[in-house]
Amino acid sequence: MPADKLIYMANQIARFFESMPHEQAVKGVAAHINDFWEPRMRRQLFQVLDTGGLGLRPVVIDAAKDIRRPADAA
């Protein structure tokens, strides 16, 4: 999947949760990505995050600490 599409999808999730208090939004974004994104998508998300997270909304970047990193993305 192109990185810009993945960034768009992550930001859509973030926009949904941003009406909540920040920590609740962070937990919601992480839970959604953990529950519905396959390892390949999470791996690609971490590639974006590990190179600075350009284009990602702050709540996605903050949620990274709670998103399960696929084993071979370390």
Report the chain's terminal Cα–Cα distance, integer Å.
20
For position 6, what pLDDT does the model report? 97
> What's this model's pTM, rounded to 2 decimal places?
0.92
Q: Which of 36, 47, 62, 34 is nearest to 4 (CA)?
A: 47
- Walk along the chain (74 residues) and give the pLDDT tens digit of each residue: 899 999 999 999 999 999 999 999 999 999 999 999 999 999 999 999 999 999 999 999 999 999 999 987 44
For position 72, what pLDDT does the model report? 74
